[in-house]
Structure formats: C-alpha cells, structure tokens
Structure 1
Amino acid sequence: MPSEPPSPKSKNIFNRIASAFHNEELSDRDDLIEVLKEAKSHNLIAADTFSMIEGALSVSDLRASDIMVPRSQVQALDLLEDSSEWIRTIIECGHSRFPAVEGDLDNVVGMIHAKDLLRLVLNPEADVKRFVRPARFIPESQPVNVLLKDFKSTRSHMALVIDEFGSVSGLITIEDVLELIVGDISDEFDREDKSQNIVQEGTHWRVKALTTIEQFNEYFGSDLEDDYCDTIGGLVTDRFEHVPQAGEVLEEKGFRFKIARADERQAQLLIVERLD
C-alpha cells in the first residue's frame, strides 16, 4: 500500500528549512531556530535532536573563557610533592587527567593520566616525569567550535587556557564542550559541590542555574526573591515568561543575567554582572 504523501503543513516546514541554505527566506539564526521549533512541535524532529541542534548552533558564539574551569578551581599534581599527595588528589577528585606542575600553575610541565600513576604502586622509585605528556595551551579568546575541532584532530581531551600575558587562567575539557551540545554528562565521580555554584571570573560571575536564590543572596548580599521558584535559574525563567535561550539577557535588581547555556527545558548556566 503506497504511503501517504506529506501534508501541506509538513511540506511547508521542510521547504522553509531548505530555504535556510539558499538565503531565500530565513535571514538569520533566530529564524532557523523558529522553523526548527515548529518542526519539533509537529514531531518532525525529536525534542532531544532539536536540543542538540540548538546547542551546536550556540557553540560558535562562545569562547574558551566562557566555559573554562577557572584557575582557582583547577586541580593539579605538583611533582615537587611526595607521590602520596598525588594519589590523595586523584582519589578526592576522581578525574582521569591532571596538569602536572612544579610549584604552581605558573610552571606547567605537562599533563599526566591517573592510570599512569598506578605504576608507582608497583614501583615507587619510578621516575614520574617519564609519564608526563605534552600539555596543550589555548587562548581565552579561542572560539569553542574551533576548540572542538582541535580536540578532534589532535585526539586531546584537555587544554589549559592562557590569558594575554601567558598565565594559566583556567582549564577546559572535551566534556565541557560536548555538554554544550548534548547536555550535562554525569558519571559516578560527580558530586554536588555548592562551592562551585558561583565562580568569579574577572568582573563577572559564572552561576549555575540550579543555585538557590538563598545562596545567591547570601553570596552577593542581594534581596532577589520569587514566589514560585527556589533557584536562580527558575527566577530568571519566571521573569522571561518562557524558557530562555543562550544569549538572552535580563536585568533584575542591579544584576545583568546572560544565559550562557540552556536547553529546551531549562537554563543551565548564567553569566552574572553587577550593574552600576
């Protein structure tokens, strides 16, 4: 039995999507997103697929400095310390890769895999510098989409972010980039750490959307409140009156909130600035 032809509505949606690649109808990315939303509402693409497309489109707007782990939160292995300290750091953090330093992050000698240090259990006298691999350095201004290509071509999983003076300002992993596209990737080592909900980066702060309004007010000495939500992401969504998308900006009681990462269900990460 022959299949039914597509409905005029579906055909129109596909035509509009196709026109995006011929500059006939859609004039910018926002128009394309709206067409994709319409396609999703008609079940022509799955919700998860739409979320990943939207995340992939937003990646090119971000720089390494927008998503990096700031220097103050970077866990490194100091080769000048006793090997027992390295093992303790690995156990506490649960990471598989670490910057290897001598003294501090101003003297990075490379990267080291946790699995390589297991050899020290069998041979405590082994020279740990044999296991150190070259470190990758990228500027704060590097576009995230370029970084993703770099990770892929070099088969790297981690890079150190440097500022204009050559000092390490943060760290970024391939997981950080992929989470922008597919959403949060959790594993058995992930723990809830409220101390990282609000992280200062120069003149602004990186704030997780799940940070409670109470924690936000306590940190900033502010008086934000919402009758319906307990989190800062919920408050921002309530003010927008729709699920905010990456790049949208809201000003509220002396603060500017910019959505740095979001999916179709919720905001995930905010960039917060104080207003004069």
Structure 2
Amino acid sequence: MSDERGGDTPKSWLNRLTTLLGNDPETRADLLEIIKAAGKKGILDAESQRIIESTLQVSDMQVREIMVPRAQIISIKDNSQPKDFLPTMLESAHSRFPVLANDNSDEVVGILLAKDMLRLIGQKTERFDLKDYIRPAFCIPETAHLDRLLREFKAKQSHMAIAVDEYGGIAGLVTLEDALEQIVGDIHDEHDDANEDSHWISPQADGSYIVQAITPITEFNDYFETQLTHDDFETIGGIILSEFERMPHINEYIDLAHWRFTILAADLRMISVIKVQDLRKTTA
C-alpha cells in the first residue's frame, strides 16, 4: 500500500496541483485559477473547492460586512436584575449578550453568557450583582478584515467581539460563528449539538427543567419518556396553551398526568418558557 499521502502538507498538496496544472502561482488570482482547474479535473470535490476559495477570499472581507448592526443588538445594562433581562434572554435564544454601562451606551463592560443565567430562572436573587457573571469582551474596528478577526478570536480565546466605528462607538457585534460561516457555510450555534433538545431543555439543580415552549412534542416525549400527543399542535407550548384554553399568566401552572407545567415567560401572543416538574419526585 502506498504511503504517498502520508506527507500531505499545504505545500506538498499545492506542488502536486501545480505539477498537474501548470506553473507556480504568482498572485492570488493565479492560485484561484489553479483551484478552479483542479475542481474541473476532479482533483478537488466541489465542497473542498468552495471552502478553499472562501478561505482565500476571507482577507478581502471586512467585519462590517458580516456583523449584526447596532440597531439589532440585544444588550443588557450592567445594573440590571434577572427580572429585567431573563425574559428577553430566553425569548431571543441567543447564547451571548453584550453588557453595556448603564450611564454610557457606548461603553462595553463585557459579555454575559446565557448558560450562566439559566440557574437563576424561578429562583430568588437577593444580593444579585450582574458584574459577578460578566466575562471579558474585546473590540475590533468595523473595517478590520476577517483574517485579522479570526486571529483575534484565537488569541483571545473568545467567541464574540464588539465592532467599533472610527469614533470608538459601537457599530455592531460579530461572533466567531459569523466569521467561520464565511468559509464553511452555515453552522450550528455551540448549543445546537447533535441532540438539539439539550438547547430546548435545561435540567435545574432542584430537579426541575426549564423548557422552551417551541420544543417539538416528539423531542419532549423522547427526553422525558412521556406520550403526549395533540392533533392540532406540534410543540409542547401548543399543548399547554390548549389545556389552559386561554393565554396563561406568568407563574400559572397546569398538571398533566404526573407533570406540572409552570409558565415562566409569555406575552399576549404566545408562551415562551415553561418550568417542568415531575410530581412523583417533589414533596407537597
């Protein structure tokens, strides 16, 4: 068996391509032509060709081309209490939120991770100080190119950056996921792993569960080994809404079999977050 591939490095890989396809490239445009020719000859499959071409083009793109603009950012003030931001945090389903100074909306204090806040849902939060949970954030010019952004993410071991304009004001927000998607295409958020119910359903220290109302009934049944069904609804929130026969209020609950469903977040249109308890494991 040949071990010809054992020494594959970017340089040896490129040498083989140029041997097959012509002279060494002198410019990036030449290199792109070689890559395209390799695709046509079947040396590279279509996906590999796309990723290589995207990687080469990343240095031409600027942060402002992929950032979430300031007007669309969901941020939290550094003097906020859980009751102020938890409903919005849960409804948005984002995993990271920039924290801004209460007295200066252009001063970024840090980043708040949603996973650090989940345990506070439904709990009393006396002596709560948001600053205890804030993680460092870094800023990058909105004109910076994506290759620099990726290097900064790696160096700072961070997943989110604040894009700033020429005056130092907040221009937008950009994540590592946003940058990588320019190379590999759409990818899942870090909480969207192979078992997506890990994002919809969060076990709590007291034995209860925080469940997103959009959790599909099938996923809920698989997780809790239940057999809930409904002809008209596909989500657990739909089932709960049909049982109430009206829009429930916060902290209202309903019991189905040996499960208690308490409303944690809802508005005039829909239920967003539910607390689920197994009544067989709770004391009266």
Q: Structure 2-normalised TM-score?
A: 0.56
- 1:15 equivalent to 2:16? Answer no
Asked whether the 8 Å contact 2:81–2:130 carries over to 1, the reply is: no
Q: Secondary structure at the match of 2:174?
A: strand
Q: How many angstroms apart in 1 are the aligned matches of 2:115 and 2:92?
A: 14
Q: Residues 94-134 of structure 1, C-alpha deviation per residue, up to 9 Å, x if partnerless? A: 11111012346323211111111124334512322100112
Q: Residues 48-81 of structure 1, C-alpha deviation per residue, up to 9 Å, x if partnerless? A: 1111111100111112122211111111122344
Alignment of 1:92-131 (within 5 A): 92-103=91-102, 105-121=105-121, 122-125=123-126, 126-131=128-133
Q: Secondary structure at the match of 1:184?
A: coil
Given the alignment, which residue of 164, 187, 209 partners 1:185?
Answer: 187
Which residue pairs with 1:85 in the alignment?
Answer: 84
Report the AA paired with residue 59 of structure 2: S
Asked whether the 8 Å contact 2:74–2:98 carries over to 1, the reply is: yes
Q: How many angstroms apart in 2 are the aligned matches of 1:105 and 1:55?
A: 35
Structure with higher Rg: it is 2
- 1:49 equivalent to 2:48? Answer yes
Shift of 1:186: 4.3
Report the AA paired with residue 73 of structure 2: V
Which residue pairs with 1:32 in the alignment?
Answer: 31
Report the AA paired with residue 182 of structure 2: L
Report the AA paired with residue 136 of structure 1: F
Shift of 1:85: 3.1
Asked whether the 8 Å contact 1:13–1:38 carries over to 2, the reply is: no
Alignment of 1:152-167 (within 5 A): 152-167=154-169
Asked whether the 8 Å contact 1:117–1:128 carries over to 2, the reply is: no
Which residue pairs with 1:170 in the alignment?
Answer: 172
Shift of 1:144: 1.0
Asked whether the 8 Å contact 2:79–2:130 carries over to 1, the reply is: no
Superposed CA RMSD: 2.7
Q: How many angstroms apart in 2 are the aligned matches of 1:142 and 1:46?
A: 31
Q: Residues 207-249 of structure 1, C-alpha deviation per residue, up to 9 Å, x if partnerless? A: xxxxxxxxxxxxxxxxxxxxxxxxxxxxxxxxxxxxxxxxxxx
Q: How many angstroms apart in 1 are the aligned matches of 2:101 and 2:136?
A: 14
Shift of 1:17: 6.1
- In terms of mean alpha carbon deviation, does 146-155 or 83-92 score higher? 83-92
Report the AA paired with residue 70 of structure 2: R
Report the AA paired with residue 41 of structure 2: H
Q: Secondary structure at the match of 2:60?
A: coil
Unaligned runs of 5+ in 2: 3-14, 193-284
Q: Structure 1-normalised TM-score?
A: 0.57
Asked whether the 8 Å contact 1:77–1:89 carries over to 2, the reply is: no
Shift of 1:166: 0.9
Report the AA paired with residue 29 of structure 2: D
Q: Percent identity at matched positions?
A: 40
Report the AA paired with residue 127 of structure 1: D
Q: Residues 14-70 of structure 1, C-alpha deviation per residue, up to 9 Å, x if partnerless? A: 4166843xxxxx342222212211111222112111111111001111121222111
Alignment of 1:222-241 (within 5 A): none
Q: How many angstroms apart in 2 are the aligned matches of 1:18 and 1:130?
A: 60
Q: How many angstroms apart in 2 are the aligned matches of 1:18 and 1:84?
A: 65
Unaligned runs of 5+ in 1: 3-10, 21-25, 190-276
Q: How many angstroms apart in 2 are the aligned matches of 1:145 and 1:17?
A: 28
